[in-house]
Structure 1
Amino acid sequence: MYQSRCMIFRSIARFKITEAECLAPWRTCKMMNAELLERNFGVQFPEELDGTLDLQNGAANCCKFNRWGTLVAVGSTDGRVFIFDFVTKGIVKTWTAHALPVSSLSWSRNGRKLLTASADTTVAVWNVIEGACMHRMKYSAMVTSAVFNPRNDNQVLILQLNYPPCLDELEPRSQRLITNDIPGAVEDGVSAIAFDRRANYLITGTNKGKLVVYNAKTLKMVSWGKQNSVQQIKQIVVPRRGNFIITNSQDRIIRTFDLDDILECHNGSTIEPKHRVTDIVNKASWKAVCTDSEGYYICGASTKAHSLYVWERTTGTLIKILHGTKGECLMDVQWHPIRPVILSVANGIVSVWTQAHVENWSAFAPEFTELEENAKYEEKEGEFDLEDEDAEVDDKANAQDSDEEIIDVESLKPNEILCSSDEEDNINALLPDVTLKTGPLWFLPITPECDPAEALPLPGGHFTDGRRASSHILSVLEEESRKRAMPEPIGKVPMKSRKVK
């Protein structure tokens, strides 16, 4: 970029042209690239329904992606937890976690632990690989929210109904209450809570529209301010990138606040949001709110219908409304951490919303042409020759040099798509362990199910599915093996070879 600017300034000084005239080709090229990306790769938000996740007679109540979007946990109304491989959309593990519906889910940073909360007033920590319970805590009321510390999976943040939030240590077991010392705190309970990206602060929202920030280590209040509304804050969303938070309030307005503005505000002052979005036409209230990995778009789930509203955060423009089945009531919504995919939970069904994919082969091969009817292919001169006899000597030498290019397969560079602004600089923190004992857990290994039609033979005429082959099948196998000059089937004594005189 610096060299490009220097070339522009030299051109201005030498040819005496304006900067606007010099930058015009560069701006045109940039617009063409943006148009090419949008045409070939689509917009970065979902556009259509792409199916559902099969819960096998289970009714979903909430869902949560892991940090990379490779696995998704689904909590059901009967207390079961399902782990889906999002690539195959299949269940890789399931277990019974609680006696009543699961109300909240949270993944640890490395993806090896799953935190579940339920209406039965219990919170449990699970080993994802084994499906075993590591810790289980009992509380006084229903737990509405339970989240892991983003930087320490030994700490969990708990919010109970009509109780102050608390920060619990798992090993050794300890609990610290988060007290509210602001004026009128007795009548103003905490209704939403979240960690910031780096777990330096705790952000709480109250029933009267106040935002209170605490130090995550000392639990001392840092600052507090008020929204320009006294309505309850139902949810606080912290994006993966950017230094802002999103609040979902009872007054049907979704607001975006800069975290620095909250930290630097005078206690008790009104904090003006950077952006706000709302449904001006239908005046819909929002059951849940989520955002994409970049924080460019905001998705709001309506409480009255299965409708998802997608806005541009910076402009507040409504760009898409996704309508599900009529009569369904939304319970939860989650945006994929990397891809433009949204999961919505309504009436026990997990729906998957994705982009509208259109095949455009000419984007990958400019010479590709679509055929309306069969046509005879005309071979080009030297197209399938091993060596082009008409090529010049320099071209052959360059081809040999290109074949000798050294490819580095040892050093790894971090993929910027999989990284957010809260990632560490150490690339080893993203590398999984081959033994699956340490490091981040990207996928869950599963044992493939063997189709009875593809069962393998075992000694004695048995198969891997427990069946025994009939004498007719064995005779057919013997005949086929003799015809193909192959060894006899396993479990049968081979025939004696005849000597040819």
Structure 2
Amino acid sequence: MRRREHESLTAGPVCPSTRSPRYTCRKLECVFSLGHPSIARLLTIKLGSGHAACIRFNRSGDLLASGRLDGTIVIFDIETNGVARKLRGHTRQDWKCVLWDLQDGSRLRTIRFTAPVFIAELHPNTHLKFVAALFDDQPILVDATEELVVKRNFQSAPKRSQLDMDEATEKILAQDAKQTTTVTTFSPSGDYIIAGTNKGWLNIIETASCQTMFSTHMAGGVITLLRFAPGGRQIVVNSSDRIIRTVHFPDLTGKNVDFGNFRLENDHKYQDIVNRLLWNHVAFSATAEYLVASIHMNHHVYVWETAHNSLNTILEGPTEELSAVEWHPYKPFLAAVGIDSGEVHLWSVIAPQKWSALAPDFAEVEENEEYIEREDEFDVVASEELTKRILRQEDEDIDVLTIDPVKGYGDHQEGGFKMPVLLHQDDEDSEDEIEAIGAGQYRRKSPGRGRDRNTANEATHQNGRR
């Protein structure tokens, strides 16, 4: 059963290792052609709906979901930049995951855990299975197909060979037992779970049996992010050792995978050699030709070419540090979250106007030219001929119900889910009454603050009308 797009999974708590910024949305378009290094910036619009803690595009890229600090999930429509849906299922770090049905905004399942949730991700083929990494606890594979939810734990300790087990000391075995999983994701086929631990180990777990099939020491610190490339043959690993690694991933779709000869090889490593700063977030481009990352204590967004391991461009957006950064699944379109202001900045390619697309004989000119018309170019057509044309057009059947896919946007739209629009959307945002008073410090605005000014303005306006 293939996962339906109208299901989404939300987790209550925010990862304790990440900062909790205040979020609104702003569109900051940056012209960066994928094959051209020139950059131009244009601030166009600001969207606001509470204080989000994370962002993520859906599969088709027409929706952008942001999770607010008060537990509300706000879904933005990328085409209109408006709020398409609000999902209210969390109130705080309530240690639970909620499976939502975006068709009507209802809750399909609510699963509670015994610890905060680092991250949770849906199975790629069935929407009623997901894996969750818990804080200071073993990760869990959840099957919510039936009303009685089935939870299956799997180990965070790495799998060692018999030779390593014979040579391992009690100290090493004790350290393995204390390892915790900090991030999890499914393989593209969903047959395996890829998990990263707080000791830098990468484990491959079989989904059917929850048994660890392969382990390798990947990083020298906590693994904070795992993300597959769209093709599924590359995975990016971000860790606290200040190095981003892209790893070539073998094919795991076969039934008889030989894990005895299984190897994971690093393709490239990306790091800030000068300042040695941490990378906040990493994402692949739509074609996996580029890798984008945000950096700690910096407002730049770095874009590398994965084929040449070279820095392609640096996007300079707002004057604040950026945390989460996501790339649109089908377009050269970026979304990054500012930590201080909590705004979501969007970069996109602004296509130049091509007048030749209106008519083949259109041509661009550098300066005005005097046009010499043909003899019969602007002749008035007889009214009888116009009447015949109108009558012929009236007999044609016009289809106003079929929605044709956008040309050049991809075949992923055919038969895809389209979230219905709710006309009576609740626009009340209680978190909009919170203001920043310092670095990482917030307070709720006074109830009477701003009302006196509004009252005075209203009275002045009424006196002026009199």
Q: Decide: shared fold, TM above 0.5.
A: yes
Q: Deviations over 1:189-222 (max 9, x none)?
A: 2122111112121111122222111122222222
Paired amino acid for 1:216: T
Q: Which runs of 5+ in 2 are unaligned?
A: 1-30, 161-172, 382-401, 426-466
Does the alignment pair 1:175 with 2:151? Answer: yes
> How much does 1:271 deviate?
4.1
Q: Is the 8 A contact 1:265 1:271 kept in 2?
A: no
Question: Contact conserved, 1:225 with 1:266, CA < 8 A, in 2?
Answer: no
Give the structure-1-normalised TM-score.
0.62
**Are 2:103 and 2:419, in contact at CA under 8 Å, matched by a contact in 1?**
no
- Return the alpha-carbon distance in structure 2 between the equivalents of residues 123 and 447 of structure 1: 27
Instruction: Confirm or deny that 1:193 pairs with 2:161.
Output: no
- State the Cα distance separating 1:448 from its structure 2 match: 9.2
Are residues 417 and 211 of structure 1, via their aligned partners in 2, closer, same or farther at CA, if it must alter by over 3 Å?
Answer: farther
Query: 2:167 maps to which residue?
Result: none
- 2:95 is aligned to 121
Aligned match for 1:369, one of 364, 371, 376: 364
Compute the displacement of 1:53 (Å): 4.9
Aligned length: 349
Cα deviation for residue 329 of structure 1 reads 3.4
**Contact 2:140/2:151 (8 A) holds in 1:** yes
Letter in 1 for 2:285: D
Percent sequence identity over aligned pairs: 26
Alignment counterpart, residue 289 of structure 2, candidates 286, 289, 296? 296
Greater helix share, structure number: 1
Pair 1:215-2:209 in alignment: no
Residue 285 of structure 1 aligns with which residue?
A: 278
Report the AA paired with residue 82 of structure 2.
G
Give the aligned partner of residue 325 of structure 1: 318
From 227, 236, 244, the counterpart of 1:237 = 227
Q: Which of 352, 359, 367 is the aligned partner of 2:353? A: 359
Query: How far 1:344 moved relative to its partner?
Result: 0.8
CA shift in 2, pair 1:94/1:413, >3 Å? closer
CA deviation after TM superposition for structure 1 residue 248, in Å? 0.6
Deviates more, 1:181-190 or 1:331-340: 181-190
Return the letter of the residue paired with 1:237. Answer: R
For 1:334 and 1:414, how far apart are their aligned partners in 2?
23
Return closer, same or farther for 1:271/1:171 CA change in 2, 3 Å cut-off. Answer: closer
Could you tell me whether the CA contact under 8 Å between 1:164 and 1:189 is conserved in 2? Answer: yes
TM superposition shift of 1:169: 1.1
User: What is the aligned partner in structure 1 of residue 373 from structure 2?
Assistant: 379
Classify 1:307/1:41 alpha carbon distance in 2 versus 1 (closer, same or farther; 3 Å): closer
Contact kept, 8 Å, 1:53 with 1:352, in 2: the verdict is: no
Change (3 A) 1:271 1:151: closer
2:250 aligned counterpart, secondary structure? helix
1:234 and 1:271 map into 2 onto residues whose CA distance is 18
1:148 to 114, 118, 122: 122
Root mean square deviation, CA, Å: 3.3
Is the alpha carbon distance of 1:164 and 1:49 closer, same or farther for their aligned partners in structure 2, counting shifts above 3 Å? farther
Change (3 A) 1:443 1:368: farther
C-alpha separation between the residues in 2 aligned to 1:223 and 1:209?
Answer: 14
Aligned counterpart for 2:307 among listed residues 314, 338, 363: 314
String of CA shifts for 1:138-158, please: whole Å, max 9, x gaps.
211111101110101010111
Residue 274 of structure 1 is matched in structure 2 by 267
Distance 1:136 1:242, change over 3 A: closer
SS in 2 for 1:273: strand
* Cα deviation code 1:322-348 (max 9, x no counterpart): 12322x333311111111111111132
Structure 1 unaligned residues grouped into runs of 5+: 1-39, 101-118, 388-409, 421-429, 433-439, 450-501
Computing the radius of gyration from Cα coordinates, the structure with the larger value is 1
Q: Deviations over 1:88-109 (max 9, x none)?
A: 1111221322112xxxxxxxxx
Report which structure shows greater RCO (CA 8 Å, sep ≥6).
Answer: 2
Shift >4 Å, 4+ stretches? 44-47, 49-53, 261-267, 362-367, 381-387, 412-417
- How many angstroms does 1:416 deviate by? 8.0
